[in-house]
A and B are shown apart, each in its own frame.
Chain A
Amino acid sequence: MAGPMRTIAIDLDDTLNNFEETLQTTAFRHDGAYGFSESVFDDYLARLRRHAAEDDDLLSTEYSFFKYQIHHRCYELATARADGVEFMRALKRDGWRIVICTYRDLRRANDCTRKWLNDHGIPFDHLFMAWNKIVFCRVWQIEHLVDDDSFNIIHGATHGVNVYYPAMERHRALQPNRARAFRSFGEIAPWIQG
């Protein structure tokens, strides 16, 4: 008799795709539709690329609009990790329930996210946005999370969530944690069995 369905949550940006590389290397151009000059555009882009803190106390600003437009373009242009795609297909074949769990504003990015996943043949069951993925996994009783975010890497295990992350340079300075780094998605498969 089959047991309860096993569930895994997977992040998109810089986990299944190369979002950061796309942001840093794509030649974005002022398309004429922005309500500000090219020099402001260039300034905003430089700010976005160095991940400068947003000190404005307003929610919706010219910069926040610009930021979303560029991020949206990155969602469309980013390429999928081949080993990630294969991993997702294997999960599906093995009967896992797959939840895509992202920080993206799916209200605006739902269509392009679904298209990207479909275009790359990446199977999934549900799409969720969550600002706190550890809380999300906890309350939905999801045991496994694949995600590159430092907060989740550090705090996942403390809250009963097994976190697996693609090893990157920026993870070298992380405080000690119980998450597991991988070079290839194939490494995850034995960790989530049992």
Chain B
Amino acid sequence: MDPRVNLLKEFYAGLPKDRAKVETYEHGFVFLEKLLSGGVTLEYGELTLSGLLHKYKLGNIPLARMDELLHAHVEKRCNVCLYFDGAANNMFCFNLDNNHKTDNTVLIPEMEFAVRFIREQLTGLGCEPLIVASGRGYHAWGRLEAAVDNDRLYDFMLHVAVNTMAALHEGGRDYRQIKINVYPDRRIRGVVSLRLFGTDHAKNKVFSRVLTPDGLLDEAASWAAFERHLKHGVISREKFDEALALIGAPGGEPAPAKRPVADSES
């Protein structure tokens, strides 16, 4: 098996593998029949506005089929996006998107500020993230040594996100120019999937390059950084508890008022 597939399987080991969203230019009923063989189910399909790019939300995926999909993912024949578990996860992700209707793959100052601020907060809390270019912005992933209840993950991320928006505002910037969604989001389950590292963005064809404090890495260096983070970036249970306490978010708080959810993942 391609070693990159093994890296992906290890990095995202905590996310459910029986469901996924697959992005591909392939379409038609013959293709769909092949995609749904072996008991795979189609929740829904989508023809996007990006050329003939299609998205398929699949369920009931056998493990062997997921391996095939991951293989296709690293070979850039499709993009695999995974969903979070509905109760607890050993991962969390900040999804930062440019919030403009047009030209939203452009890197705007608010985005640069926000991603830097999130990195500094997380690193300061001992939870160094892996930050990856996502197309319309960045995904900032955190990996934990064991699954944590979604409510606690959400509380933690919400505080980091609110601090970031507040810092943007205090810095005289318009925080509405970007969106920060946090996952797992306890208000919505099974709705949003996130594209895995290791492939090109479906729309702008840019590889999911790793962002370091010194800038974006190229594809090969990004894989190396991904592997390093896999080995050395795990957040211990104690460190997460400490970070949660430090940021002032006791677990089990009631859900805040509803906010807009993402219009599209990337």
Query: Which positions in A face B, CB cutoff 8 Å?
Result: 5, 7, 33-35, 57-62, 64-65, 97, 105-108, 110, 126-132, 135-136, 139-141
Contact = CB atoms under 8 A, between A and B. Distances in A.
B179 A60 contact: yes
Interface string B42-56: 111111110010000
Contacts of B28: 139-141
B116 interface: no
Given A7-B29, A35-B257, A140-B28, A59 B101 contact: yes
Interface of B: 27-29, 32, 42-49, 52, 57, 97, 99-102, 104, 176-177, 179, 188, 191-192, 257-264
A4 to B, nearest CB: 9
Contacts of B261: 60, 65, 108
A51 B110 CA distance: 32
Contacts, number: 90
B260 A57 contact: no
Closest 7 CB pairs of A and B: A65-B260, A130-B47, A106-B44, A127-B44, A128-B45, A136-B47, A60-B260
A132 B47 contact: yes
Contacts of B264: 107
A108 B188 CA distance: 9
A130 B47 CA distance: 5
A59 B179 contact: yes
Nearest to B43: A110
B259 A35 contact: yes
Contacts of A106: 43-44, 46, 57
Given A59-B104, A60-B263, A130 B46 contact: yes
A128 B42 CA distance: 10
Contacts of A141: 28-29
A129 B42 CA distance: 13
Contact of A110 (B44, B97, B102, B262): B44
B253 to A, nearest CB: 16
B260 A62 contact: yes
B260 to A, nearest CB: 4
A61 B49 contact: no
A188 B227 CA distance: 58
A65 B45 CA distance: 23
Given A34-B258, A35-B257, A35-B259, A57 B44 contact: no
B47 A131 contact: yes
B29 A140 contact: yes
Given A64-B263, A132-B47, 7 more contacts: A33-B257, A35-B259, A57-B101, A59-B100, A65-B260, A97-B29, A127-B44
